[in-house]
Structure 1
């Protein structure tokens, strides 16, 4: 029984340590797929586009100015469904921090990821890289298309768009 307890304690410690640290990613790690990863992913997944991922969003019109109504609705969704795993800073909690996410990824990629999580993790090298860092698969939050757009607008607000 004592050995079993030690085994579980060790496993728990490794899990917490593997996704812990709370700091920024090392400078050598990026969210961008290398050209070889992108071409390999495209060759293996003909419906996959490295710029937008995989899903129904092929083009999202984003105005220069922030839509405050959508951002407010997105913040409510964030507080309800996202904040337990994501911080609005660059700090990782369970999942990666959101600061700068709209500069790292196109709106189509983000909206496809939050509405088509499982397929994106299966096919997208950038999503797979995040899974390797966090070691916890993002659950499907069952966001509607409007919810996804509102969350994206909240991300833009968090990134300083006015």
Structure 2
């Protein structure tokens, strides 16, 4: 009989130990190691000192280095509207309201034409190499913008459409 008492206690003791182990594992899983403050900017989750909502003169990173803007061309803007409707509207609004991505009202007043076109053309490279684009993605916890297989001409047309929207 003494053995049967030990056997009765063993499952209870085993259950208690397993429960304590599980609880301690759950608690330690919620603890995160401290952030490495000395890590390069590309590894940090945000870039101190960069306000993505502030005006920036950056041209960004990419093929568009010098964009000359004459008066808004209505035909190009209309083509840009078509491109925007087919490739951009699912994530962006033309207001200041955030959708999946940021609202684009006023974008041409705080970003250079080159930055906008580089972001449209190759957002992956911009987020990796441009501090403003990285800060924007990090601050708003945005998903990665995908490049829509857009041509140079379509980029320019979307820029024209955004310019015309900002003049309303």
Structure 2 residue 111 is matched with structure 1 residue 105: yes
What's the offset of the Cα at 1:142? Answer: 1.3
Query: Structure 1: any 5+ residue segments left out of the alignment?
Result: 1-27, 35-49
CA contact (8 A) 1:102 1:159 kept: yes
Structure 2 residue 111 is matched with structure 1 residue 89: no
Query: Structure 2: any 5+ residue segments left out of the alignment?
Result: 1-49
Compare CA radii of gyration and give the structure with the larger one: 2
Q: Deviations over 1:6-42 (max 9, x none)?
A: xxxxxxxxxxxxxxxxxxxxxx9543489xxxxxxxx
Q: Deviations over 1:18-70 (max 9, x none)?
A: xxxxxxxxxx9543489xxxxxxxxxxxxxxx72111111100101x210001
Query: Normalising by structure 2, what TM-score?
Result: 0.66
What's the offset of the Cα at 1:120? Answer: 0.4
- The residue that corresponds to 1:125 in the other structure is 131
User: In structure 2, the residue corresponding to 1:75 is in which secondary structure?
Assistant: helix
- The residue that corresponds to 2:23 in the other structure is none
Write the distance in 1 (CA, Å) between the matches of 2:144 and 2:60.
17
What's the offset of the Cα at 1:87? Answer: 0.5
Which residue among 152, 159, 166 is the counterpart of 1:152?
A: 159
Number of aligned positions between the proteins? 118
Please tell me the root mean square deviation across aligned C-alpha atoms, in Å. 2.0
CA contact (8 A) 1:31 1:126 kept: no
Equivalent residues in 2 for 1:1-162, closer than 5 Å: 29-32=51-54, 51-63=58-70, 65-132=71-138, 133-160=140-167
Give runs of ≥4 in structure 1 deviating > 3 Å: none
Write the distance in 1 (CA, Å) between the matches of 2:58 and 2:149.
23
CA contact (8 A) 1:33 1:126 kept: no
Write the distance in 2 (CA, Å) between the matches of 1:118 and 1:145.
16
Higher normalized contact order (CA 8 Å, seq sep 6+, divided by chain length) = 1
User: In structure 2, the residue corresponding to 1:153 is in which secondary structure?
Assistant: helix
